[in-house]
Chain A
Amino acid sequence: MKTNDLILQTATKITVFIILTYSLNLFFAGHNTPGGGFIGGLISAAAIVLLLLAFDMKTVKKALPFDFKKVAALGLLIATLTAMGSFLFDVPFLSHTFGYFDLPIFGKTELATAVLFDTGVYLVVVGVTMTIIQTIGEDE
């Protein structure tokens, strides 16, 4: 069946960028303000779900050629490796640290290893949500 979704598709093309930007903002703001890996991942997944609503599944798969099960596995791997990295410095499992660095654009920035752990959480949330939705959606 041919459908005419011009308004939905055009609005989606613009709003997806806003949603993805906002999810990145929440992801990086999670250390000092509300936000973090979980909410950032959920909002990114919601942006991809909006793409799935406006376009069909084949188009989205062509635009984002990831196997989302592998994305979830990669996230778990990153989280575990970050936690095990603390063994290298002779401190207990899951110990985190932070330091201040002078970056070229941002100036004095606080970089924490908790961000790496949060990246793992982010990838797991995106991967699991998209796997659930694609598995439900593929039933025909």
Chain B
Amino acid sequence: MTEMLKILFAVIILFGALLSLLSAIGIIRLPDVYTRNHAVSKSATLGVLSILLGTFLYFWVIEGYMNARVILGFVFLFLTSPVAGHLISRAAYNSKVPLWEKSTQDDLKNKARSTKGKVSQ
């Protein structure tokens, strides 16, 4: 039973490592800053959460030691990582980093122009 649980936790941790690797590949392969941000802010978050979950479960079930700081770590990462992604994307858009040339729709374009016109007047 213990061996089965150990294998299960190893699978969870390896899944997290695989997701982190996928997000790293996403940073290299994707064309512009927004798609890269999309790749990294989602899959790296879930990857780190899986690694933390595997570690927490291992120490809880196998070693009998429950660490509340890891739970706090889940909550904190889950709260802050998407906000960080949002802020980076917004800063990129506001400093006029171009979209990928094959992207077809930019709903914020007119909004950005109208505020820019107001500032210049």
Interface residues of A, Cβ cutoff 8 Å to B? 7-8, 11, 14-15, 18, 21-22, 25
Contacts and interface: CB of A to CB of B under 8 A. Distances in A.
B71 to A, nearest CB: 11
Interface of B: 69, 72, 75-76, 79-80, 83, 86-87
Nearest to A4: B90
- Determine chain B's interface SS by DSSP, over half rule: helix
B72 A15 contact: no
Contacts of A25: 69
B76 A7 contact: no
**Chief secondary structure at chain A's binding surface:** helix
A11 B72 contact: no
Contacts of A7: 83, 86-87
A104 B76 CA distance: 32
6 contacts: A7-B86, A11-B79, A15-B76, A15-B79, A18-B76, A18-B79
A7 B87 CA distance: 9
A32 to B, nearest CB: 14
Contacts of B86: 7
